[in-house]
Amino acid sequence: MADLVEPTQWRDRSVLVTGATGLLGGWLTRRLTDAGAAVVCLVRDAAPASQFSAEGLAERCRAAAGDVTDQALLERLMGEYEVETVFHLAAQTVVGVANRNPVSTLESNIRGTWTVLEAARRSPRVTEIVVASSDKAYGDQPRIPYTEDMPLQGRHPYDVSKTCADLIAASYATTFDLPVAVTRCGNLFGGGDENYNRLVPGVIRDVLRGRRPQLRSDGTLLRDYLYVEDAAEAYLVLAQAMMAGNVPPGSAYNFSMNEPMTVLDMAKRILRAAGSSLEPEVLGSASHEIHAQWLDSTKAREQFGWEPSVGVDAGLARALDWYAKRLSGAA
């Protein structure tokens, strides 16, 4: 598929990215700087193993140290750097961490969202805000796949944090006509994810170490997987549509492969891609997990012409290469 990202739209454009050291944030920042955007990144903690650090992206943009819940700092960044487009990605994204320590997740994901939106509301140069939600915002639904018109009904801490962030974004759009749109993606994977308790990086690391990979769940959970570079392109395509006035404030969009698979099938797919004969060990220890969830991305495909251009198998090959270099110290 032809690349839908138009570099002329981004050249010299002032863009703020929160969560730049995260999986998606690193790849999105790389894509923006490659397109010539003037990128400002909000960075809470140093992350030397992240994509952001590995590719020296801090040297290609302005990196400000601070927390996403610091409204005064966000207003200063948006004002002094004359920010036009905001990508709000900063969040605590690990479900297990949210279950063990919910307060930090609720602080980052809920308070962080209203802080960014309030700062943007007070910054007249901002014309687009893209807020990262999740498929988890839908909670447990009576039917799948999830479509954008379904109610948001998260029940567990991480899911609730995303449901709330999603609703807060809709509230700011409705009440203040703030130009905000929401993205809901499936499980993102790719090089740069240092959360090895997640399925893809965890299995890849085990395989590269010659260890039998362990699956926390019973292996039957049905999930949606999207390669991170496909997701980064989706965010840019959505923002371009917002620039053109083609996205009503408060709109939400699913981005996915539309190819659900079980956790066990995904693990075996990774093993095949690595040429490994190891067999996964199914622990069945995961709790508070929705059994089946995946997204219907028809709306985004029809409105924007977006399609994943890399896909799962090619994405896994790229991820394996990235981690092989990273874990050998050569990345």
Q: Return the active site residues.
A: 158
| CA dihedral over 28, 119, 74, 77, signed as positive or negative | positive
Looking at the DSSP bridge assignments, the partners of residue 16 are 40, 86
SS3 annotation, 220-276: CCEECEEEHHHHHHHHHHHHHHHHCCCCCCCCEEEECCCCCEEHHHHHHHHHHHCCC
Structure tokens at 54: 């590995």
Place of tokens 């981004």: 10
Looking at the DSSP bridge assignments, the partners of residue 131 are 88, 182
How do beta strands 85-88 and 14-18 pair?
A: parallel
For 275, other C-beta atoms within 10 Å of its C-beta total 8
Looking at the DSSP bridge assignments, the partners of residue 86 are 16, 129
Torsion angles phi and psi, residue 254, rounded to 5: -85, 140
The DSSP-derived string for 22-71 is SHHHHHHHHHHHHTT-EEEEEESS--TTSHHHHTTGGGTSEEEE--TT-H
Torsion angles phi and psi, residue 280, rounded to 5: -65, 145
